[in-house]
Every structure is written in C-alpha cells, then in structure tokens.
Structure 1
C-alpha cells in the first residue's frame, strides 16, 4: 500500500455560539472572519484556517487534508474505491469541487482535497499542523488510519501490559498529523499550530497573556515528537496547542515505544493522561 502524503489544511468545529467562538479565534490566532451560509464563520490567517459552524459544543465536524496535487488526489480516491472504502460527498469546505470525504470508525469525517495556498496573512507564525482525537477502541482506530488512510506510525505509548494508549501517525516527514488517544469516550482532543521555534512559543504566550487567556498546560516538552508546547482552552473548552520544533522523522526510522507515564507526556513535569 502506498503511503499517504498530505498536510492538514483546515478543520471545522461545531459550537452553539459560532459567532462568539469565531471572534475568540480571530483575536487569539490573528484571523480574519467572514460569515458563511447557515450561520457558519470562516476564520483565516497566516498558515491557518478554521471553520466554525452551528453545532454542539466540542464537536469536530471534519478535518481537511491537502494532497500535493490533483493527480495525487485522484489516485488516492481510486485506491480507496478499489479497496471498497465508502466514499462520500465532501461537506462545504475550503476545497474545490474534486474534494471527497470518508468517515473513520468513530464517525470522524476526513475531507481530502487539493489547494494551492498563499499564506501571507498578518500575525505570528503558527501553521495548522495536527489534530488529536480520543477513542474507546484504539486498535480499530489505528487499523483504519494505518491500513485505509495510509498513515505511518512514528511513536506509540503503551501501558505495562503492552496495550497501546496513544499513537502518533504521520503523513509526511513531520512526527504526526494526528494523535489518537485511548479515552473514556469518543472526543475531539485538540488541534495544534506549529510555530517553529522556542522564541515564538514565548511570543504566543505573551500574546495570550495580553488577551487574558490563561495557559491551561505548559510550557512543556512532549516525549514523542520532542516538541515544545503550550496549550489554552477556547470558550467551548476545546484545547488549542502552540508547538515548536516538532521532530522530523525519516521513513527508515522504526516506530518508537514509550512508557505510559507523566514524563512521556511532559518531560518537564505534569502531564494530562487521557486514560
């Protein structure tokens, strides 16, 4: 099976008050906001795009993955069809007409498309880079993302009995485009923006402080991925991460195995363990 090459282009988040949530993202992430049909809002800025739509609090409506070319998109769709994967029409997104979607075993929707972006907006650097989900059946979820989507495993975190508690999967050379956590229920865990270097973590923390947005976790350093991070909560309690210096993983490197403990989640101290 061919490995998928893709980047995270945008995501769609549900909210009972999409206008207020869009205003928060506009201020917190230096985004411009445009109203869309159906009470939705498009939030766009430098290397980052988020759709806020009417819905229940804390819902991830879909994630949109950008393939490197239209030909790659067509070949990927053909491969999925050949393997009997159910291909569905894409919901309204920031892609063109060739976009399509599939659904993972927990009902999370993945939209695939191709777009050429000119990311020259204002604001500090922080590229939308990965997302994370919680699942009650991590083995089933990983089988889907590895075998159906074609992602590669960079690291897993296991408990003493060998059970996988967390997995980090990549669609290129960056350590992960998705993190999958074993959790008490299906959940949207967080979305992450890669700033690139430690000095920008400081600058983003200062920016959040100016807006009276407290850090919910961090500064810290994750074990898997070796990245520096801070995390905040939006008004709907969704977790938003600013990361820096995420590991670049060569294809020949085997997947790493980490202990399920606080130090794995944060080499510097306290960590949130999902299960």
Structure 2
C-alpha cells in the first residue's frame, strides 16, 4: 500500500496545546520563541512567528489539543481522506482556524487529534525567512512532534498502515522489540515519532533551525532571556540532527533542531537501543 500522506507532501503547520494558565504560556512562547501573541477569546490565544504557529487553549497542562498538518494541494488532501476512510478511520470535524474549508481530523489510538488541511493563504510556509539584522526573528518553522506511548505497535499501525506515513527509522531493543519509531509525511526525516514507555502523551515538539549557526543563535537568544538549556547541544543518531532543548512553564519540552536529514529513497533503518543512538555526542535522556 502506498505511503499516501508522504505522497501528499504534508508538513507540520501548527500545534495547539492546552494549559491551566494559557495567558502565561502564550506569553512565554511570544518571548522565548519570538512570536506575536493575540488573545482570540477568554479560552484561546494564538502565537505566530515566521513559519511557526501555536494555539494555546485553556485546559489541562501538558496536553496536546491537536496538531495541524498542511497538505500541498486539494488532490493530496482527498487522497489522505480516502485512505483514512478505506481503513475505517473515523473522519472528524476540523478544529483549526488556520485551514481552509474541507479540512478534517482523525484521532489516533492514544487519543491524539491530527488535522489535515490546506493552509489559508496568509499562513503558507515560506522557505527562506529573511533575517536582515540581529533583531529580526530567528528562522525556525515548527517541524515535528514526538509522543510517548504505551502502544508502540498501535502507533505503527495507525500512522504507517492506516494513514500512509512513511517509515524511516526504528530503534530496536536486543530482544527485537521496538523502542522508538520515526515516520515522515514529506522529505524530512520525521514529522511524527513515538517512544515506547510507561506513559501516554507528549514528549516534545520541535522547530527546525535549518543550519548550525541558527541553532547557535537560538541558544544565545535563550541565554539573553535567562532560559537555561535542559539538554544539549547534541546530535541525534536517527535523523543526524543537531539539537538543544528547553522547557516551557507548563513543563512541555521544546526542541530546536538543525540540519535534519533529508530523505529520498533509502530504506528504513534499525538503530540499537542505546544512549549513543539518542545522542552521539554525550548525555542521553532515555525515554523508552
């Protein structure tokens, strides 16, 4: 069966997080992630920067509201919709304000809501944000999401088998069981990944700086705001990307990534379940 979502060229366009203190969380992303913040209602804030968008909803701390994946064109969107229907995946209403009419949502086996749609014209991803001076926002579009799951086989079945995300890499334990899965919806190494573990929920979401110099700039920016790195800089094995992590006030992990592998036609690879696969440079925070 074809990798339908990957053929449609979907990419992570925006994310929505719940928070018991949404105004505080939105203000943090405005400052730390260089976004403009707008209060839409008593229960919703929007944060927007160059090719990065976040919706903050009043609710439960550290809970994903939904993720929004934009698709290249209407034909691709219909391909994904028909693939989901053919696999008996329930088609749900679109909760996102960033997508055109015709967008739809699905819910994975862990309850995460994933929205597919066509971006409204004002929010189409651009590929070369000009940074004319040091005061301009640093490049870093929202790029991927990583979950923790107690049902790693269900993650594989839903995203790869039912929807048609392309399998890229796996981390495999000595006994042959899967510790981590990476799947992509486009040419980048992964759009969604999952660690097999003892809880269900978010692990982190990531912004792609593109080049090492921009990762450096992000770290300098965080330092200027008094925000300490919680992990990194380092280099992952799968994806080969450079990384640094911070945490927001609710405890959500934020990754800044650089030079993520571009995938063309290589087969899925298996990595050993060891610290070096997670960070080839040093300390690893193992979650599976």
Q: Is this a same-fold pair by TM over 0.5?
A: yes
RMSD: 1.3
Deviations 1:98-145 (A, max 9, x none): 111000000000001011416559501001110010100101111110
Pairing partner for 2:62 from 35, 58, 61: 58
Runs of at least 5 residues in structure 2 that lack an aligned partner in the other structure? 131-135
Residue in structure 2 matched with residue 218 of structure 1 by the alignment: 232
Determine the C-alpha separation between the residues in 2 that align with 1:239 and 1:91.
24
Residue in structure 2 matched with residue 2 of structure 1 by the alignment: 2
Pairing partner for 2:219 from 188, 205, 227: 205
**Misfit runs of 4+, over 3 Å:** 118-122
Residue in structure 2 matched with residue 259 of structure 1 by the alignment: 272
How far does residue 39 in structure 1 lie from its aligned partner after superposition? 1.7
Residue in structure 1 matched with residue 133 of structure 2 by the alignment: none
Determine the C-alpha separation between the residues in 1 that align with 2:83 and 2:282.
44
Structure 2 counterparts to residues 61-72 of structure 1, below 5 A:
61-72=65-76
Determine the C-alpha separation between the residues in 2 that align with 1:80 and 1:18.
33
Q: What SS does the corresponding residue of 2:276 show, helix, strand or coil?
A: helix
Determine the C-alpha separation between the residues in 1 that align with 2:194 and 2:252.
16
How far does residue 38 in structure 1 lie from its aligned partner after superposition? 4.3
Deviations 1:191-212 (A, max 9, x none): 0000011111111000000000
Q: What SS does the corresponding residue of 1:79 show, helix, strand or coil?
A: helix
Structure 2 counterparts to residues 68-217 of structure 1, below 5 A:
68-115=72-119, 116=121, 117=124, 119=126, 122-217=136-231
| Paired positions, count | 274
Q: TM-score, normalised by structure 2?
A: 0.92
Determine the C-alpha separation between the residues in 2 that align with 1:239 and 1:67.
26
Q: What SS does the corresponding residue of 1:77 show, helix, strand or coil?
A: helix
Determine the C-alpha separation between the residues in 1 that align with 2:235 and 2:243.
6
Determine the C-alpha separation between the residues in 2 that align with 1:79 and 1:136.
25
Residue in structure 2 matched with residue 239 of structure 1 by the alignment: 253
Residues 21 and 129 from structure 1, CA distance in 2 versus in 1: closer, same or farther, beyond 3 angstroms?
A: same
Residue in structure 2 matched with residue 271 of structure 1 by the alignment: 284
Residues 34 and 107 from structure 1, CA distance in 2 versus in 1: closer, same or farther, beyond 3 angstroms?
A: same
Q: What SS does the corresponding residue of 1:110 show, helix, strand or coil?
A: strand
Contact 2:18 2:64 in 1 (8 A): yes
How far does residue 183 in structure 1 lie from its aligned partner after superposition? 1.5
